Copies of this chain bind each other. A is one copy, B any other.
Amino acid sequence: MDSVVVREAKKSNEVDAQGTREVLGSLTRACDARGMNGLTDRLADINRWLEQDLTDVEREIAHVAKGGDTLAEKSARHLLDRGGKRLRPICVALASRMGSGFNPAARTFAIAVELVHNATLLHDDVVDLGDMRRGAPAARVIYGNAASIFGGDWLLVEALTRVQAANVPGVLDRALAVIREMVIAEAWQLERRGRVGATAREYFEIARGKTASLFRWAMFAGARAGGTTDDVCAALEEYGTHLGLAFQIVDDVLDFDGEAAELGKSLFIDLREGKMTYPLIVAMQKSSELFPLLEEVCRDSEVTLSPDLAKRIHTIVQNTGATRISLELAQEMCTEATNCLSRLPTGRARDALAQVALAIPQRRK
């Protein structure tokens, strides 16, 4: 379904002459397909503002994947062509617009952040043996694990090459530091798999590394490209961290509550991988029943989750109100993100960032 995004983006390039209304309609459909229904509603008035930015990014991402014909490139293309929310490029675009605007350096970083994100997805799917991604079979299912490993390596290098070429002081250093942080957090999460007694503190350390760090970098890179002051840049980075943490919590909630079919994956995927999501951690604090059940699921090195057990766990988690509590925390994080914006000059970009923060807890896929 997400390939609609690419098609729509391409179409929207071709219809410049047919007027604004049609383009906006196409963009709205593209945003819907990206799972940004909440975002679409909230961002209706800024869609047009970002239109050219996102179209340019989409065109270049399509171009990256067209480069070659090895299994590495095919795997990467398969994933990139499925679209995705492109939320990180949107972050870069808005951060750059807090400064001088979405210039070529900002565009480069918007593309790079999406390539890094996709690189980690290719490797994660091999690590997790994930079968579905963005509503379609994962690249590793079609081209094999080996192809996905090389595909991830390739996208990482493509991203870094672009960041390097943009030649904005400090941005490459930070990109490398962030990728390192992501890898270390992923490795740490790997080690914690199946350990039921995870704490909220551990959870947030991992989420900060594996998810929030790239959102932070998106804001940093956009700000640096736009030439904002250091204070503005720092506030935007803080916003990015809060936004990323909220994003991860909502992602966890969707493992219990999401529109699974639309998300292209079944529920409890995280639990099947032995990952202690935030709702599980909350629910364990609220109900003593849950811990022994999760221990049963993770007893052997192989995680096994019978339909009966899945149902019982789902009921307990729901009864504790853990998903509601998790979403409330995500909301709080987004409020904190919005608070960071108070340190920024007022204007359209700041308003748009506030709207993005409001939309995150509303995403449903």
Contact = CB atoms under 8 A, between A and B. Distances in A.
Contact of A146 (B72, B127, B156, B173): B127
A73 B157 contact: no
A134 interface: no
A186 interface: yes
Contact of A183 (B127, B150, B179): B150
Nearest to A173: B164
Interface string A64-80: 00001011110000000
B172 A70 contact: no
A154 B187 contact: yes
Contacts of A71: 187-188, 190-191
A212 interface: no
A187 B150 contact: yes
| Residue in A70, A149, A187, A188 whose Cβ sees the most chain B Cβ within 10 Å | A187
Copy total for this chain: 2
A123 B153 contact: yes
Interface residues of A, number: 38
Contacts of A5: none
Given A123-B149, A127-B150, A191-B71, A157 B176 contact: yes
A185 B164 CA distance: 23
Nearest to A151: B187
B180 A154 contact: yes
Given A157-B180, A176-B160, A187 B70 contact: yes
A184 interface: yes
Contacts of A179: 153, 157
A283 interface: no
Interface in A118-156: 123, 126-127, 144-147, 149-154, 156
Report, nearest first, the 4 A-B pairs whose CB atoms are least far apart. Answer: A72-B187, A70-B187, A127-B146, A150-B187
